[in-house]
Structure 1
Amino acid sequence: MFVLVNLKAYPCDPVEVATAAADVADDSGVRVAVAPQAAHIDAVSETGVETWAQHVSPNEHGSHTGSTLAEAVADAGAEGTLLNHSENRLKLADIDASLDAAERADLETIVCANNPAQIGAAAALGPDAVAVEPPELIGTGTPVSSADPDIVTAAVDAAARVDGDVDVLCGAGISTGDDLVAASDLGSTGVLLASGVAKADDPRAALEDLVEPLR
């Protein structure tokens, strides 16, 4: 089970969260990664935790002021990138180009989508994984695996019909170990979460509780 903690632009200490995530991953054997702001990728990577970018832009080297170059985040220590998060939507052509950029930089990829139909379209572009995240549940503490489990199973089926090698993760409202177990039971190979760890008073304790059922 893959646990990816997206720090978004929350006012947390990215190094503190990353250090906790690295320790919890080592202690539990669970794959845990952290996706900080682009400016913090280097510092987070230095903790030893698996580090992801929150986004890479659909362009190569050149005159692209304000872009997030895939090669730059890889040089800073990122091993993968999210794409098309509900808070940073892309056009289909741009998702495709960003996937090409990530491939150039040897970054693993997860493309987010709102529903099973979009999951199928995203899977057709050939990412390593897709993640279903109904936007109305993001940050609510109500996991999609309990609010609407059919979305998760339908997303798994949609991806499998297109490309059986594309993993399916689920996000939105994930915060407890029970949420991870439920996601796994529905066919998900991992979860995305943010506020449950990034906003926690004790990120280490939140992560330990999260992975406890997987030990």
Structure 2
Amino acid sequence: MFVLVNLKTYPCDPVAIAEAVSDVNERTDARLAVAPQAAHLERVAETGAETWGQHVDPIEHGSNTGHTLAESVADAGAVGTLINHSERREKLADIDGAIRAADRADLETVVCANNPAQIGAAAALEPDAVAVEPPELIGTGTPVSQADPDIVEDAVAAAETVADDVSVLCGAGISTGDDVVAAGELGTEGVLLASGVAKADDPTAALEDLVAPL
């Protein structure tokens, strides 16, 4: 299972969490990664933790003040990037452009979407993975696998229909190892979470709890 921790802009220590990710990753068969803010990418990557960007723009080198260039994310040490998170929504054409930009920089891609129909559309753009995240459950501590498992199963089916090599992740409300297990039982290959680790008093313990049942 892939466990991707998005730090958003929470008031946490990204290096300390990255060190916890790196430590726990060495003691589990799961794959753990962390997505800090762009300004922290290099410091986080230096810990040895698998590092992801939170966003890249559909741009190339040039006059793009204030945008996030995929090559800069890669140069900072990231190996992948989120695209179209519910808190950073994009038009379909821009999602496509961001995937192509990430591909150009050899970054893996996870495209987030709200429901199975959007998952199907995102999968058709051929990212490495898609993540189903009903926005109303984000940050609630109630996982979608518990609140509405049909959404997860339908998302997996939608992705398989258009691109069976695109992995499906489960996001929104993930906070325990049981949530990770449930996500896997519904057909996903990983989870995307944030507050369950980023807001934890002990990020190492939170990560250990997530992977303990695996």
The aligned amino acid for 1:140 is: T
SS in 1 for 2:26: helix
In 2: Cα distance, 1:102 partner to 1:57 partner = 9
Q: 1:31 aligns to what?
A: 31
Indicate yes or no: 2:158 matched with 1:158.
Answer: yes
The aligned amino acid for 1:57 is: D
The aligned amino acid for 1:3 is: V
In 2: Cα distance, 1:173 partner to 1:51 partner = 21
Q: CA deviation at 1:97?
A: 0.5
Listed as ranges, the matches of 1:88-167 within 5 Å are 88-167=88-167
In 1: Cα distance, 2:81 partner to 2:204 partner = 23
Query: Any idea what the Cα deviations from partners look like across 1:108-150, whole Å, max 9, x if unmatched?
Result: 0000000000000000000000000000000000000000000
In 2: Cα distance, 1:99 partner to 1:28 partner = 30
SS in 2 for 1:4: strand
The aligned amino acid for 1:7 is: L
Q: 2:184 aligns to what?
A: 184
Aligned residues: percent identity? 76
Q: CA deviation at 1:41?
A: 0.4
Aligned length: 214
Unaligned runs of 5+ in 2: none
SS in 2 for 1:32: strand
Query: Any idea what the Cα deviations from partners look like across 1:54-82, whole Å, max 9, x if unmatched?
Result: 00011000000000000001000000000
The aligned amino acid for 1:122 is: A
In 2: Cα distance, 1:200 partner to 1:186 partner = 26
Q: 2:3 aligns to what?
A: 3
Q: CA deviation at 1:29?
A: 2.5
Q: 2:42 aligns to what?
A: 42
In 1: Cα distance, 2:183 partner to 2:30 partner = 15
Q: CA deviation at 1:28?
A: 1.2
In 2: Cα distance, 1:206 partner to 1:168 partner = 23
In 1: Cα distance, 2:30 partner to 2:130 partner = 19
Indicate yes or no: 2:183 matched with 1:211.
Answer: no
SS in 2 for 1:213: coil
What's the RMSD between the two structures over aligned residues? 0.4
Unaligned runs of 5+ in 1: none
The aligned amino acid for 1:209 is: D
In 2: Cα distance, 1:104 partner to 1:81 partner = 13
The aligned amino acid for 2:161 is: R
The aligned amino acid for 2:195 is: S
Q: 1:61 aligns to what?
A: 61
Indicate yes or no: 2:51 matched with 1:51.
Answer: yes
In 2: Cα distance, 1:121 partner to 1:100 partner = 16
Structure 1 runs of 4+ off > 3 angstroms? none
In 2: Cα distance, 1:112 partner to 1:28 partner = 26
